[in-house]
């Protein structure tokens, strides 16, 4: 009873809350990191060094008036933010934060579940999130959001192809779709997959930036062009859901990248004898460290690079990334067969 129901339930609650808190603090982290890049201080007023800023923001957004434009499609308008947020959250079900550990005398795996199609599950759930963006823009019944949502959906669909093709080469390398087994396979091969598949890593990183609508691919919310993008007409908590979903997706992409390429919860060089002291750091700590390192790169890129233009972005996706991804799959296959 405890093993089948209670423990998973506790884990789900824990992961959900940790994610939501992580997401709100991600916003603060982004503001701080970009502020430091831009020789500013960032939020400093709420709490010491602004660490309570996310709470103030949340309170503000909840208290704000929730406006639905008169001529908007009411049901779709309401559903859109939810459609964006839910896939971002349920992806965490298959992300392994650590191996099976001994907790209070009980063997507890540090992941909610391990399904044999884990990686595909993440891809398919992520593909549902596109609906929120398209519908949000369409239901607003306004021109700028419509343009933005068309841009966003075309972008997401194109880059999904590239990312999925990249993941295919990773599946071939690991020989499994299960997220846990992918990490274990990196342990068995004594090598993080970033060293086996560097091209795939770069492709996944670029694709991940585009999939999460981040700079330099933040076409959909290019505020300088489209005055905010698909969520222009949203206010209050509904806007916050769009906003938080973007950050949740960033965390998802980072977690997947960590699992696939950076050895998940494994300490660096687990088989090198004199580095064994790294094993004293708990496994979930390594996972978080790697994920945040990856997230930091996201922010760093945003602070540094200008924005691509929409047609250039599509050209990059279809004419550069997808061919390279397919070539990578073919090369991986050949290498797999030969060795």
Partner 1 sequence: MTTHTGQMFDTEELVINMGPQHPSTHGVLRVVLRLDGEKVVSSDVVIGYLHRGIEKLSENRNWTQIILLTDRMDYVAAATNNVGYCQTVEKLMQIEVPRRARYIRTAICELQRIASHCLWLGTHAMDIGAMTVFLYAFRERELILDLFEEYCGARLTYNSMRIGGLPLDIPVGWDRKVLEFCTIMSEKVDEYEELLTHNRIWLERTRGIGVITAEQAIAIGLSGPPLRGSGVPRDIRKDEPYAAYDEMKFDVPVGTSGDTYDRYLVRLEEFRQSIRIIRQAIQGLPEGPIVGKVPRLIKPPAGETYHAIESPKGEIGYFIVSDGKSTNPYRFRVRPPSFCNLQALPQLIKGHLVADVVALIGSIDVVLGEVDR
Partner 2 sequence: MAQSIAFYVLSTFILGFAVLVVTTRNTVHAVLFLVLNFLAVAALYVLLTAQFLAVIQVLVYAGGIVVLYLFVVMLVNLKRPPEDHMAPQRHNWIGFGLSALVLVELGAIIGYGAVAPAGPVGAQTSDLALNNVERVGMLLYTDYLIPFEVASMLLLVAMVGAIILAKREL
Q: Residues in the site for partner 1, rule: CB under 8 A?
A: 34, 37-40, 143-144, 147, 151, 215-216, 218-219, 222-227, 303-312
**Least distance between partner 2 and beta carbon 177 (Å):** 6
Peptide bond just before 47 cis, omega within 30 deg: no
In the complex, the smallest distance separating the C-beta of residue 139 from partner 1, rounded to whole angstroms, is: 18
Question: Which residues make beta-bridge pairs with 147?
Answer: none
Name the phi and psi angles at 268, rounded to 5: -65, 140
Give the Cβ contact number of residue 147 at 10 Å.
18
Q: Find the shortest distance in angstroms from Cβ 110 to partner 2.
A: 21
Ramachandran class of 245: left when φ > 0, alpha when ψ lies in -120 to 50, beta otherwise? alpha
Smaller CB distance to partner 1: residue 62 or 67? Answer: 67
Q: Are 37 and 304 in contact (CB under 8 A)?
A: yes
C-alpha to C-alpha distance for 141 and 180, rounded to whole angstroms: 44
Residue whose CB is less far from partner 1, 132 or 229: 229
144's contact among partner 1, partner 2, none, with CB below 5 to 8 A by partner kind, is partner 1
Nearest distance, CB of residue 105 and partner 1, angstroms:
52
Q: Determine contact, residues 96/290, Cβ cutoff 8 Å.
A: no
**CB nearer to partner 2: pick between 108 and 117:** 117
* Nearer residue to partner 2 within complex by CB, 121 or 217: 121
- Both tokens of residue 281? 């750091």
Q: DSSP string covering 127-184, please?
A: HHHHHHHHHHHHHTT-HHHHHHHHHHHHHHHHHHHHHHHHHHHHHHHHT---HHHHHH
Please identify, using beta-carbon distances, which residue of 133 and 209 lies nearer to partner 2.
133
Q: Minimum Å distance from CB 67 to partner 1?
A: 17
List contacts with partner 2 (CB under 8 A).
73, 75-76, 115-117, 120-121, 123-128, 130-131, 134-135, 138, 146, 150, 153, 157, 160, 177
Which one of partner 2, partner 1, none is in contact with 209 (Cβ closer than 5 to 8 A by kind)? Answer: none
- Say how far apart CA 8 and CA 18 lie, in whole Å: 15
What's the min distance (Å) between Cβ of 265 and partner 2?
23
Residue 314 C-beta: closest distance to partner 1, Å: 11
- Smaller CB distance to partner 1: residue 71 or 107? 71
37 makes contact, choosing from partner 1, partner 2, none, with CB < 5 to 8 Å by partner type, with partner 1
H/E element, 102: strand 100-103
Give whichever of 53 and 155 is closer to partner 2, judged by the CB atom.
155
303, interface contact from partner 1, partner 2, none, CB < 5-8 Å by kind: partner 1
Picked from partner 2, partner 1, none, the partner binding residue 108 (CB below 5 to 8 A depending on kind) is none
Indicate which of partner 2, partner 1, none lies near residue 73 (CB less than 5 to 8 Å, by partner kind): partner 2
DSSP-derived 3-state class of residue 122: helix
Residue 162, CA distances (Å) to 157, 268, 287, 316, 329 in order: 9, 29, 25, 10, 11
């Amino acid at each position: 009873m405890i093993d089948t129901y209670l423990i998973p339930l506790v884990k789900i609650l824990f992961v959900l809350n940790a994610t939501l808190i992580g997401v709100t603090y991600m916003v603060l982290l982004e503001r701080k990191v970009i502020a430091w890049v831009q020789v500013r201080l960032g939020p400093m007023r709420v709490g010491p060094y602004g660490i309570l800023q996310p709470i103030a923001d949340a309170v503000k957004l909840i208290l704000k008036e929730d406006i639905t434009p008169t001529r908007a499609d009411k049901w779709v308008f309401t559903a859109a933010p939810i459609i964006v947020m839910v896939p971002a959250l349920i992806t965490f079900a298959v992300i392994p934060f650590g191996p099976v550990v001994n907790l209070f005398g009980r063997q507890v795996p540090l992941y909610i579940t391990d399904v044999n199609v884990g990686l595909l599950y993440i891809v398919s759930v992520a593909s549902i999130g596109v609906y929120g963006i398209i519908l949000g823009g369409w239901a607003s019944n306004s021109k700028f959001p419509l343009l933005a949502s068309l841009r966003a959906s075309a972008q997401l669909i194109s880059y999904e192809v590239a990312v999925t093709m990249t993941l295919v080469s990773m599946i071939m390398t690991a020989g499994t779709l299960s997220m846990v087994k992918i990490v274990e396979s990196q342990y068995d091969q004594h090598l993080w997959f970033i060293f086996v598949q560097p091209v795939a890593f770069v492709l996944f990183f670029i694709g991940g930036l585009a999939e999460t609508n981040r700079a330099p691919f933040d076409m959909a919310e290019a505020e300088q062009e489209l005055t905010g993008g698909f969520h222009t007409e949203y206010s209050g908590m509904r806007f916050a859901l769009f906003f938080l979903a973007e950050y949740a997706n960033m965390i998802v992409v980072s977690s997947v990248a960590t699992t696939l390429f950076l050895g998940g919860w494994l300490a660096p060089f687990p088989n090198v004898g004199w580095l064994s002291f790294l094993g004293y750091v708990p496994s979930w700590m390594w996972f978080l460290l790697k994920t945040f390192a990856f997230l930091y790169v996201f922010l760093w890129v945003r602070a540094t690079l200008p924005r691509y233009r929409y047609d250039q972005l599509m050209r990059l996706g279809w004419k550069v990334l997808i061919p390279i991804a397919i070539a990578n799959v073919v090369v991986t296959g050949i290498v797999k067969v030969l060795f």
